[in-house]
Structure 1
Amino acid sequence: MSVPTAVRAPLRIGPHTCDTPVVLAPMAGITNAGFRRLCREQGAGFYVCEMITSRGLVEKNPLTFRMIAMDPDEQPRSMQLYGVDPATIGAAVRMIVERDLADHVDLNFGCPVPKVTRRGGGAALPYKRRLFERIVRAAVENAGPMPVTIKMRIGIDDGRHTYLDAAQRAVDAGVAAVALHARTAAQRYSGTADWTAIARLRDAVPAEVPVLGNGDIFSAADALRMVAETGCDGVVVGRGCLGRPWLFADLEAAFAGRPLPEPPSLGQVAATLRRHAVLLQAHMGADKGIRDVRKHIAWYLKGFPIGGDLRRRLGLVDSLDELDELLALLDPDEPFPAEADGPRGRQGSPGRVVLPEHWLDDPDDPSVPFGAELEHSGG
């Protein structure tokens, strides 16, 4: 299998360099230590952990500390933080530096889910430009030499684009890179990402600050096309690697100008799925790990001609031995189906963004909204 290839310059985030300009997007419930190891085994890149609340970190919440577990050989260690209070974000970053918990921090300004935006967080926050700037500066000032990056969306909706202003403020505050998911919060994951926004961002940001593009990258060809069309310095991959961690091997080959590996047979997919289950068990424990892998099974087997009964049984698997028994029923020589390509994971429909009361009244209001931090700690 081949795609148009192009050698790309290494991606630099602060002192950290990777020849493959690819970042794994933090995904809740997905990008834990087990999944990150599986992806790293496939190809090079920056691999970011699940979103962590700054409050949970500062409070030393046990769940939070389990979620930020990193493999000894995981370099650089990348952590994404969520927060709405500059003081809490600053304290969390200071703790990360003092305890050597990570080598790179990314700030989340892109999450569109209601439980985050209704408190002014995630994709809602850049609209409050002075509060946004306070948060970014608090992170950078407490990070010392550790690089801080941001990930954001185009804006709240089509009438409220914030990404260009937010990027300029973040660059002025000293961030090491800017990533853009080229959708609004109102789009969620529906429709098509507007890659022209990534191109406009690349033109607006100083050349020495990397701009990363995110949205609708489901293949190596998509990644190369995004770079060619937008001039971005690298790509952020989220839903495209669900059930397809070998996408990182494709990306590594494509950006190096090499032919892509052949798509895996069903037997090879099954072996990767089993490896995923083993890694999740090592990270979470046997019972929780095998339960967690269930949600990945449909993504791994998408497009393959597998009977409904076997799919159902795989979706209810409760031990590694049972998983082995069921995977043995698959035809290992079945080729990878063309219909498995393309969008995967959540898409949903566009909708109104849930915001705090009077959030849109004054974009220059720098105050932290009442009750802004999530009521629960953890990620």
Structure 2
Amino acid sequence: MSVAAALQLGSLTVPTPVVLAPMAGITNAAYRTLCAEQGAGLYVCEMITSRGLVEGDEVTRSMLAFDESEQVRSVQLYGTDPRYVGKAVEILCAEHGVAHVDLNFGCPVPKVTRKGGGGALPWKRRLLAEILEHAVDAAAPYDVPVTMKTRKGLDDDHLTYLDAGRIAQESGVAAIALHGRTVAQAYSGRADWDAIGSLVEHVDIPVLGNGDIWEAADALRMVEETGAAGVVVGRGCLGRPWLFRDLADAFAGRETQVLPTLGEVRDMMRRHAELLVRHMGEERGCKEFRKHVSWYLKGFAAGGEMRRSLALVDSLAALDELLSRLDPDEPFPVSELGAPRGRQGSPRERVVLPEGWLDDTDGTGAGIREDAAEVTGG
């Protein structure tokens, strides 16, 4: 018997209620394919800017690359101008066959928030509503669901998530994902799952929970404790794409498979590099792979020289030679289970915002300007 129901986003059914969070420089076509090979879910493209897409920016367009196996194309958009967002959604639906659009109102990066974007934008409730309405209206003729992702608020004194949830529901958004941290927290501290539960009680649309899901058991616990309709997984899958296999098993009520040996991790690394090369060519693909080495080998006994060599790999042949030196029988380091992965950092003393941003909550953010490509993938 299933532990959790499928996730329903408008007309789109996601058999396993799990979403891969967009991560800059990570969730490209190769990584999405790798994760999808492990288990069912919704795998979202890196964040792109709406203005960059509308104005034909080459970098932005190049990020809209999909593997032939991706039957459900999902893209996250960043935008601060309702007109650009609406037009970008139309382009995604009409020209790129996208089946799901997510809008980013959670990014904590200062270069985004100082322009009123990402996690800063929900403070302006009227602007948030206008953006969502333009996006939903643009997607409606194509029967494509629009969702949004946000955070609790700017900081503990400026919370926005309950208002954002109400506005999302009134605007026709199919679901809202909540990262249980404020913008000021960035990725530090612990995620507030109680806030996710409060949002579930506050709205009638599906709520997805995000934050501190390191193992499949965490996802089950989040759904049980908060009533969320599903989960969004980000840093927990870095160097561990098999987490989606475990999540699929857990939500279906099956026992999760045993932890992979270093030999199995090695095979996953090789597959990842192969997919990157297929999409980007050997030179660029191998360079892109380098950033993943430390995540894959986290906790294993592979020495510093091996790690350094892998972090400089420039061909699949060189990668094969290095991987052949790893001990295939080394067990997975259980000390890494449940441990945070990826960036954490420290909370920020203040959130960088446009001048006068906090003066009112019902404005339209007049004067903020969305750059064509500056924050693409941010």
TM over 0.5: yes
After superposition, the C-alpha distances for 1:141-170 in whole angstroms (9 at most, x for unaligned) are: 111121000000000001000000011001
2:363 aligned to 351, 365, 369, which one? 365
Letter of the 2:159 counterpart: H
Q: Is the 8 A contact 1:152 1:180 kept in 2?
A: yes
| Alignment partners' CA distance in 2, 1:219 and 1:187 | 22
Query: Which residue in 2 is equivalent to 1:37?
Result: 33
User: Secondary structure, in 3 states, of the residue corresponding to 1:39?
Assistant: helix
Query: Which residue in 2 is equivalent to 1:106?
Result: 102
| Alignment partners' CA distance in 2, 1:67 and 1:370 | 25
Q: Is the 8 A contact 2:76 2:104 kept in 1?
A: yes
Query: Which residue in 2 is equivalent to 1:155?
Result: 153
Q: Is the 8 A contact 1:119 1:369 kept in 2?
A: no
User: Secondary structure, in 3 states, of the residue corresponding to 2:357?
Assistant: coil
Q: Percent identity?
A: 61
Letter of the 1:158 counterpart: D
Query: In the alignment, does 2:245 pair up with 1:270?
Result: no
| Alignment partners' CA distance in 2, 1:100 and 1:281 | 23
Query: Which residue in 2 is equivalent to 1:349?
Result: 346
Query: Which residue in 1 is equivalent to 2:130?
Result: 134
In the TM superposition, residue 186 of structure 1 has moved relative to its aligned partner by 0.2
1:1-379 to 2 correspondence within 5 Å? 7-144=3-140, 145-206=143-204, 209-341=205-337, 342-351=339-348, 352-373=350-371, 376=374, 378-379=376-377
The 1:263/1:175 distance shift into structure 2, 3 A limit, reads: same
User: Secondary structure, in 3 states, of the residue corresponding to 1:350?
Assistant: coil
Q: Is the 8 A contact 1:181 1:214 kept in 2?
A: yes
In the TM superposition, residue 98 of structure 1 has moved relative to its aligned partner by 2.2
Q: Is the 8 A contact 2:47 2:376 kept in 1?
A: no
After superposition, the C-alpha distances for 1:45-95 in whole angstroms (9 at most, x for unaligned) are: 000000010011101222222211112331321100000001110111121
In the TM superposition, residue 27 of structure 1 has moved relative to its aligned partner by 0.4
Q: Is the 8 A contact 1:16 1:76 kept in 2?
A: no
- Alignment size in residue pairs: 373
For structure 2, the 5+ residue unaligned runs are none
| Alignment partners' CA distance in 1, 2:189 and 2:234 | 16
Q: Is the 8 A contact 2:282 2:314 kept in 1?
A: no
| Alignment partners' CA distance in 2, 1:302 and 1:339 | 10
Q: Is the 8 A contact 2:290 2:310 kept in 1?
A: yes
User: Secondary structure, in 3 states, of the residue corresponding to 1:313?
Assistant: helix
The 1:100/1:295 distance shift into structure 2, 3 A limit, reads: closer
After superposition, the C-alpha distances for 1:213-239 in whole angstroms (9 at most, x for unaligned) are: 000001001001101110101000000
* TM-score, normalisation: structure 2: 0.96
| Alignment partners' CA distance in 2, 1:224 and 1:378 | 32
RMSD over aligned Cα atoms: 1.3
| Alignment partners' CA distance in 1, 2:371 and 2:126 | 18
Q: Is the 8 A contact 1:202 1:230 kept in 2?
A: yes
For structure 1, the 5+ residue unaligned runs are none
The 1:93/1:368 distance shift into structure 2, 3 A limit, reads: farther
Letter of the 2:208 counterpart: L
After superposition, the C-alpha distances for 1:189-248 in whole angstroms (9 at most, x for unaligned) are: 000000000000000111xx2110000001001001101110101000000000000000
In the TM superposition, residue 362 of structure 1 has moved relative to its aligned partner by 1.3
